[in-house]
Structure 1
Amino acid sequence: MKILFLLFPLILLLVQGAAGSSLEPTNREQCERESGFCGFLKCRFPFVIIGKCSTFSVCCKNRWG
């Protein structure tokens, strides 16, 4: 019975992490809607990866805006 108190928060933590993973852009249109652009494999310095445009293309967005 004591293990349920440890297992329940772990399950909630996993569900919470899975809920936000589908919000990232998955194609070029969604990336551009998020004010980003598609780059090949990585983003240059002031930009960070926020999703994927295609297999070898990632969605980049400015870190500060």
Structure 2
Amino acid sequence: MRILYLLFPFFLLLLQGSAGFSFAPGNKAECEREKGYCGFLKCSFPFVVSGKCSRFFFCCKNIWG
């Protein structure tokens, strides 16, 4: 029973993060339209992950715009 107290906050954080993620680019065309590029599994430094292009490719967008 004690593990339920630890798992409940984890699930809340997981659901909260996935709720806002639905507005992120979902394919390569959307990513490029929003001035991003598709990177394999990670993004280089001035870029951050902002969505998914496909299963292993993530949409990378510049931090400063």
Q: What is the TM-score with the length of structure 2 in the denominator? A: 0.69
Match in the other structure for 1:48? 48
The 5 Å alignment of 1:1-65 reads 18=19, 20-65=20-65
Letter in 1 for 2:48: V
Identity, in percent, stands at 64
- Which runs of 5 or more structure 2 residues have no equivalent in the other structure? 1-14
Shift of 1:54: 0.3
Separation of aligned partners in 1, 2:61 and 2:35 = 7
Runs of 4+ deviating beyond 6 Å = none
Aligned residues: 50
Letter in 2 for 1:30: E
Q: Could you say which structure has the larger radius of gyration?
A: 1
Shift of 1:48: 0.3
Across the aligned residues of Structure 1 and Structure 2, the Cα RMSD in angstroms comes to 1.8
Q: What is the TM-score with the length of structure 1 in the denominator? A: 0.69
